[in-house]
Amino acid sequence: MAVLPVPSAEQIIQLYEAGNLAVELAEYHLPAEDGSDTFLKRCVELHNNGDIDLVVVPGQPAFDAIDTHSFFTAQQFYCDIIPQLRANATALMACCRTLIERAGNDGAAHMPNGAFRQWCKRNLEKAAGVIRNAKAGDDLAMQFVTFALQGANDIETATEFVREYDDNRRLYGLSALGQMSFADGDSARQVVVVVEPFIVSGNDDAIRVNALSTAFDILRPFEDHALARRLVQSAAQSPGPQVLYGLARLLFQAHFSLDRETVGIALNALRAIDPQHRGTLSLVDCGLKRMVGTRNESQALDYLTETLREGTLTIEHFNSTSHKLNTDDPQRVYELVVRWLLSGSIALANNTGQFVRADKERIFNTSAQSLGLSPIQQLFLCRKAIGFLFIYPVACCSILVSVIRAADEDVKAHIGQLLFDPVLLSYSGAARNYLASLPSTDAAYGTVQNVLTRFKEFHSAIDDIGSIKELHPSERQLVAAHQRSHDQMREAHKEAEKQSIIRKLVHHSTILHGKRTLTYVVDPGGQKRAVAMDLQKHGAYVELPHLEKLDPVGLDYLLRMCMVEKPA
């Protein structure tokens, strides 16, 4: 990106007169020695002196022609100069509108509004004119009246807009009030009383969400739990999608300033969330994440539990929350997994996998003692762990072991049986290594050792059988199976490549031979430069359950039975 020298005033005028100033506005210019923006200052001066008219430039064809990236440079330029311009309010609003429309859906599109608000603050009379025009029904003025009201901090007129109008001006008034400064709590509460009726059900969804948002913006500096609860209660009555979004935003931005009951009301309303409304979902996810580790944590986890239980959403929709849970307190994750498994809800338990596969497989190094489970619940939990977490053998084993640590002899024997079949019969690698790693001081040591001994005996019996050549697949069959496996791996590799973000960002070369590469690249100066790279191996290891080969139908049947089993 080139940084240009600052053109002289004459040059700027020339560019303006030639209709080419737009291009210059979209360039970066060298700052002055003191760090100030000389180009910006020079332009403002020329404009305020009447040598050029910056307000009309965005409406010129040359402005339309600049590319998107350059446009945002120009837009930033305007945001910086607008508060300093001497200009006609209508012309300036038109200028701002052009800049906003050209920016499209970009997150920074509405930045000129802020600049206009600043301009109004400096030009109160002109702001009053905008408000007057808006009252008179002028479209352009109505579009910008929010910022005029804010700039003028005209609470009374904004309140009047809310109270008196039933068109968009009510919304503009509401929006304006949310950003105003109130002298004290009482004056703020008086305005909230005006806004409150528009939160209740029966109003338009957009009005409700704006009113809710405004009310909480006004109340933010003044802690008033009772009023906040009343407002949320109103919003929670038959909420539309926008009100739900508003409640989600409220939790995200201000859950800490709400009391438990209010958070509960909001979360309860958010149970009605439509899975298609990704924005709201994402906001809820972020809100829940913020609640984890705070006094509202249990409510957040309750919400997650109840929402997932309904089955329309999965834990994948709450990525931020699950990541936060996964990286924080392991005991909390254990308790949540246990809770979901014990719930008997398939939809809920299906989500437990998310908590055991972060990085490498999770080991729950804990005991079920503190959970106070009955023997029936302990066994139920173990079968559920097998049903839902079977493909994560170490995590699954660690849950079973946590129960053994708190179980009586009878339950231990039952769990020992489950550890042997299907767990160890399926996974003689990682699961066995985990069990073997338990120290002799572990409360589960005795039971686990019995299981390992039994497994050893089982293997010994298998080894005694030796090779029975007659049973081996033929060469033809081995080749066919190998070919199929190879094809499957290749397909999986292709699919993984397709989904790889990195793959889309980088240049891809296939090296057929060698253990390092040497490539020559041409530098900007035209000189060739050698780039050497050592090749590294990378791979992934997945242990497939052995029973999937020995008795796939039986294993499937067992897992299904464990999954569908209901609590006694």
- By CB under 8 A, name the binding residues for another protein: 425, 458, 461-462, 464-478, 480-482, 484-485, 548-554, 556-557, 560
Tell me the closest approach of the beta carbon of residue 425 to another protein, in angstroms. 7
Q: Which is nearer to another protein, 93 or 559 (CB)?
A: 559
Residue position matching structure tokens 């560019």: 15
Q: Which is nearer to another protein, 529 or 560 (CB)?
A: 560
Q: Which is nearer to another protein, 65 or 413 (CB)?
A: 413
Tell me the closest approach of the beta carbon of residue 444 to another protein, in angstroms. 24
**CA pair distance 274, 251, nearest whole angstrom:** 17
Q: Which is nearer to another protein, 3 or 553 (CB)?
A: 553
Q: Which is nearer to another protein, 122 or 549 (CB)?
A: 549
Tell me the closest approach of the beta carbon of residue 489 to another protein, in angstroms. 13
Tell me the sheet residues that pair with 3: 28
Residue position matching structure tokens 């307000």: 55
**CA pair distance 161, 21, nearest whole angstrom:** 40
Tell me the closest approach of the beta carbon of residue 275 to another protein, in angstroms. 24
* Closest by CA position to 214, among listed 225, 198, 230: 198
Question: How many Å separate Cα 456 from the centre of its chain?
Answer: 47
DSSP string, 462-507: HHHH---GGGSPPHHHHHHHHHHHHHHHHHHHHHHHHH-HHHHHS-
Tell me the sheet residues that pair with 215: none
Q: Which is nearer to another protein, 413 or 564 (CB)?
A: 564
Tell me the closest approach of the beta carbon of residue 386 to another protein, in angstroms. 17
Q: How many CB atoms lie within 10 A of CB 353?
A: 16
Rg (CA), the chain: 33
Q: Which is nearer to another protein, 138 or 551 (CB)?
A: 551
Question: How many Å separate Cα 498 from the centre of its chain?
Answer: 23
**CA pair distance 238, 479, nearest whole angstrom:** 63
Exposure on the CB side of residue 52, measured as CA atoms within 13 A: 24
Tell me the closest approach of the beta carbon of residue 556 to another protein, in angstroms. 6
Tell me the closest approach of the beta carbon of residue 478 to another protein, in angstroms. 7
**CA pair distance 151, 130, nearest whole angstrom:** 11
